[in-house]
Structure 1
Amino acid sequence: MSTPAVTNEIGIIEQALQLSRDMLSAAQAQEWEQLASLEAQREPLLRREHSADVVEQLGEILACDRELRTLVRQARDEAAAQWQRQSGQARAIRAYAQA
């Protein structure tokens, strides 16, 4: 039988896990502001000290985080590539205009 403290901790971890899933959905939809907002809500829940009773949920949260890092890295790289393309186009337009 769970004690009230363990039950409360499990509720906190379940909330953090749901926020992690929501963060992943936001990243997949490229909703970066929503992702940042959800992460701010989740962080204090994870910074608590946790018992061994929630190890499985913490593992799933870490799995979500790994996938999030991949999605954010891909989006960052794509944004950088797009910026470079646009910067190159702007240079070409300026060079053409000066010719």
Structure 2
Amino acid sequence: MSFIVTVMLVSNLTNPIPPGIDPNKPAPIYDSPDLYGATPSVIALDPSTIRAKLYSLGFKPITSMRFVGGRWKIQAVYQGELRALEVNPDNGIIFADRPAK
């Protein structure tokens, strides 16, 4: 790295905080309803396709299926045990598979 680039990097690290910015206030976090979608996106798979994928994996029967927080929350029986699943609506990949409470 050249000497000039090093000096520029170091000077940017040592600049004081600009006036009018409170260093103790946390940075704003982008919080939008679209991050926690209440409905599947236009590119999402149909619920029937999600069900068919789960059936093919052995999750039978599906007892509940609801869309919350951008994911499908599904309860289904697998080998006699009730499981709680979280499924990606766009490709049907299972994010989480836990015993249902």
Per the normalisation by structure 2, the TM-score is: 0.21
Structure (1/2) with the larger helix percentage: 1
Give the structure with the higher percent strand: 2
With the length of structure 1 as denominator, give the TM-score of the two structures.
Answer: 0.21
Larger RCO, structures 1/2 (Cα 8 Å, 6+ apart): 1
- Higher radius of gyration, 1 or 2: 2
